[in-house]
């Protein structure tokens, strides 16, 4: 798939912490990222089953906005309260989703966050203590969701750890995987190899079906 599909909104989307409205009649203001969202969404329109979608790092609901239109159930994970309490609730009907205000990772416990990212201890000295937030973290497997047909992950460089905590879910349901990677791993001290997350999924017999820069869509080959 080489073509960027036209972006068509049936409703307005709020996409930042300010009260900025990105509407279909202001398409020139919408970042190219949203065209990317639409392109990836096209992949799951072809799924024969659209039961449960999991949006990990749902932020303002950019993906969730589309997922609720096509899936029976949508589960969202986002530890940042400012996203959930403000723009997310304006973009996504509350009765259409189940929201979990937690981070996901490879073990249950707590993690330290700064801004929108879980960071490595190696960069703690560059961050003021008062700006660090501790939040609960769980593995996705802890929740034992049924009928999972899609998982989207956008967690600022923490993707590989999320997948390690999701292996049982992935192996059981073989969902379509959407992985957003934009180099945040190095920013937050994780030093992952560029393709580490994709290689992990490929080792589980997944194949890449679409790619934009460092973002991937993968389907099960089983």
The answer to whether the CB of 112 falls within 8 A of the CB of 132 is yes
SS3 108: coil
**pLDDT for residue 150:** 93
The residue whose two tokens read 């009765």 is: 95
Residue 62 in domain:
yes
**pLDDT for residue 190:** 53
Residue 122 in domain:
no
Residue 88 in domain:
yes
Q: How many domains does the chain have?
A: 1
Residue 106 in domain:
no
The answer to whether the CB of 132 falls within 8 A of the CB of 161 is no
* Rounded CA separation 192/6 (Å): 33
pLDDT band at 54 (very low <50, low <70, confident <90, very high): very high
**pLDDT for residue 158:** 85
* Rounded CA separation 52/32 (Å): 27
185 strand-pairing partners: none
The residue whose two tokens read 């679409």 is: 210
* CATH value at residue 39: 3.40.50.150
Mean pLDDT of 103-119: 79
* Rounded CA separation 65/11 (Å): 9
pLDDT band at 130 (very low <50, low <70, confident <90, very high): low
Residue 27 in domain:
yes
Residue 124 in domain:
no
**pLDDT for residue 206:** 97
Query: Of 19-23, 40-44, 52-56, 202-206, which gets the smallest average pLDDT?
Result: 19-23
SS3 81: helix
DSSP label of 105: -
**Tens digits of residue pLDDT in 168-184:** 999 999 999 998 876 55
Sequence-ordered list of residues with C-beta below 8 angstroms from that of 46, at least 6 positions apart, any chain:
none
Q: Is the pTM of this model over 0.85?
A: no
Residue 149 in domain:
yes
> Which residues constitute the domain of residue 155?
13-101+142-220
- CB neighbour class for 121 (10 Å; exposed up to 12, middle 13-18, buried from 19): exposed
């Amino acid at each position: 798939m080489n073509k960027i599909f036209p972006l068509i909104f049936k409703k307005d989307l709020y996409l930042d912490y300010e009260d900025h409205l990105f509407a279909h009649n202001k398409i020139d203001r919408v970042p190219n990222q949203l065209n990317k969202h639409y392109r990836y969404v096209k992949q799951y329109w072809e799924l024969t089953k659209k039961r449960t979608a999991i949006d990990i790092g749902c932020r303002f609901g950019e993906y969730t906005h589309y997922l609720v239109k096509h899936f029976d159930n949508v589960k969202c994970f986002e530890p940042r309260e400012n996203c959930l309490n403000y723009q997310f609730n304006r973009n996504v009907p509350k009765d259409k989703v189940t929201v979990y205000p937690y981070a996901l990772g490879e073990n249950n416990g707590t993690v330290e966050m700064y801004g929108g990212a879980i960071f490595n201890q190696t960069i703690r000295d560059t961050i003021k203590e008062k700006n660090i937030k501790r939040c609960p973290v769980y593995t996705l497997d802890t929740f034992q969701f049924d009928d999972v047909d899609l998982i989207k992950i956008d967690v600022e460089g923490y993707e590989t750890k999320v997948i390690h905590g999701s292996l049982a879910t992935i192996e059981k349901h073989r969902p379509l995987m959407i992985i957003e990677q934009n180099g945040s791993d190095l920013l937050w001290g994780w030093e992952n190899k560029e393709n580490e997350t994709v290689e992990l999924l490929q080792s589980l017999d997944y194949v890449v079906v679409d790619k934009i820069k460092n973002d991937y869509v993968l389907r099960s080959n089983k």
